[in-house]
């Protein structure tokens, strides 16, 4: 029965990650969503409210991080893993949000938007969970 609740909890948290993705255009201010769905290689960046964009990206990162930490907790039940993960998520957020803003400020009129696309992707998607899960799994097996 305990294993059932563990799997159920992880499933609910994964569903929450999917819901964040499904309703991203409603939940967050991010004009780059539509921009990167279109023919973005031939157009300049759309007009952006940088404060709202940063707040939206940060809010989404925090939501994804909280859910990801929950998944890591239910899988490993190890507070040291959670502490390390919080530290990593915090450091990565600070670094990536600085790079994100630097790219935004320096890419006005530039046609190559791929660096912005990928840095933003790391901020708005739970990519780090996909890295941390196998890393902690292999660490635990050793």
- Beta-carbon contacts of 92 under 8 Å, excluding residues fewer than 6 positions away, are 122, 128
Q: Check whether 1 has a pLDDT greater than 70.
A: yes
DSSP conformation letters of 87-141:
HHHHHHHHHHHHHHHHHHHH-TT-S--HHHHHHHHHHHS-HHHHHHHHHHHHHHH
pLDDT of residue 119: 96
Show me where the domains of the chain are located: 2-141
User: Nearest-CA neighbor of 61 among 129, 131, 137, 136?
Assistant: 129
Mind listing the pLDDT tens digit for each residue in 68-120?
999 999 999 999 999 999 999 999 999 999 999 999 988 766 677 889 999 99
Mind listing the pLDDT tens digit for each residue in 28-54?
999 999 888 887 777 888 889 999 999
């Amino acid at each position: 029965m305990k294993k059932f609740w563990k799997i159920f909890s992880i499933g609910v948290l994964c569903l929450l990650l999917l819901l964040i993705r499904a309703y991203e255009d409603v939940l967050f201010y991010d004009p780059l969503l539509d921009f990167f769905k279109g023919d973005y290689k031939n157009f300049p960046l759309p007009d952006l409210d940088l404060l709202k964009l940063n707040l939206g990206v940060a809010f989404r990162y925090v939501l994804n991080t909280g859910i990801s930490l929950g998944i890591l907790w239910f899988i490993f039940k190890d507070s040291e893993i959670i502490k390390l993960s919080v530290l990593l998520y915090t450091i990565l957020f600070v670094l990536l949000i600085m790079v994100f803003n630097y790219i935004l400020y320096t890419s006005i009129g530039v046609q190559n938007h791929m660096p912005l696309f990928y840095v933003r992707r790391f901020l708005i998607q739970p990519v780090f969970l996909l890295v941390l899960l196998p890393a902690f799994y292999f660490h635990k097996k050793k």
